Amino acid sequence: MTPLITPDELLLLYKNDDVILVDVSNSSDAFENYKRSHLEKAVFVDVNKDLATVGDPKFGGRHPLPSIKHFLKAISNIGISERSHVVIYDNHCGANAAARLWWMLRAIGHTKVQVLDGGFQNAIAKGFPTTDHINKSTPSKDYESSGWNLPFVTIDAVRKAIHEKSHLLIDVREKQRYDGITEPIDLVAGHIPTAVNIPFRSNLDEAGNFRKPEDLRDLYRNMIGDKKSPEVIVYCGSGVTACHTLLAFEVAGLPVPNLYVGSWSEWSRNHPPSPG
């Protein structure tokens, strides 16, 4: 199954019983926006409650992974089972936070999962029906999985990686945040030492859809060179938008590299940049 699905493709199958359509748009008023308008049949997932265990950002960042038990309960509550075909979208071209849920489902071994290319806005433009009806999910039998099976790293691994020439850190945030010019969310601006900046928008074309696989392959092969996926670490502000680049690797047909879940929100609280 390809990692992306177009609105036209989704229109042909979204009413199938096995399809679970998920709105995982992330903002302070995400659920209010969902209640006003969402794609027909979509259920809502809360990033902070369902896809993270929010605590002190110094220990794990702003969106640390929840326990496996917590996540499995969350997806079972919205009807996802091992047989489900899950389609995920958000209102930010997959970056906030459709790709995070995609990564988490893939990490527990769920292969029938796709991200809606172009997200909510693209679907509306293509004539996908919307509604303000709040869908009541029928919980599935508890999903079973033994743990996270895609690679991710802790702050200790990043501390070692910045001293290893064999490793590459990719910061997917906007250039102004990477350059330390502005920081709208975390306490200080800057980036992890040795990291290179490839903003997640580099994965998208002008219409907000993912670029062609061959274009993404060229982009990341040129950057990573002969490095293997275990030597590549991707981060953002809190481990959400970084998953957009992990998805881009998948679209490109490249091995998915490591996610640094804590990202800048954890690193900057433990290693604040030096003045000047």
pLDDT at 274: 62
d(CA 247, CA 67): 22
**Segment 54-106, tens digit of pLDDT:** 999 999 999 999 999 999 999 999 999 999 999 999 999 999 999 999 999 99
Average pLDDT over residues 28-39: 95
The SS3 of residue 161 is: helix
**Segment 212-256, tens digit of pLDDT:** 999 999 999 999 998 888 899 999 999 999 999 999 999 999 999
Q: pLDDT class for 138, splitting at 50, 70, 90?
A: confident
Q: Are 70 and 48 in contact (CB under 8 A)?
A: no
Assess whether 93 carries a catalytic annotation.
Answer: no
d(CA 46, CA 50): 5
Q: Kindly report the pTM of this predicted structure.
A: 0.96
Average pLDDT of the chain is 96
Q: Are 61 and 266 in contact (CB under 8 A)?
A: yes
Determine phi and psi for 114, rounding to 5 degrees.
-140, 150
d(CA 61, CA 238): 6
Tell me: pLDDT of 275 over 70: no
Q: Which residues on adjacent β-strands are paired with residue 225?
A: none
Cα 225 to chain centroid distance, Å, stands at 24
Q: Are 140 and 84 in contact (CB under 8 A)?
A: yes
Tell me: pLDDT of 211 over 70: yes
Domains by residue range for the chain, with CATH: 4-131 (3.40.250.10), 152-270 (3.40.250.10)
The SS3 of residue 123 is: helix
10 Å Cβ neighbour count for 262? 28
One of 47, 113, 236, 242 is an active-site residue; which one? 236
Please, what's the largest Cα pairwise distance for the chain?
58
pLDDT at 135: 86
Q: What percentage of the chain reaches a pLDDT higher than 70?
A: 99
Q: Are 119 and 4 in contact (CB under 8 A)?
A: no
10 Å Cβ neighbour count for 18? 11
Give the list of residues 6+ apart from residue 32 with CB closer than 8 angstroms, or none. none
d(CA 24, CA 173): 20
Tell me: pLDDT of 191 over 70: yes
- The DSSP annotation for 43-89 comes to EE--HHHHS-----TTTT-SS----HHHHHHHHHHTT--TT-EEEEE
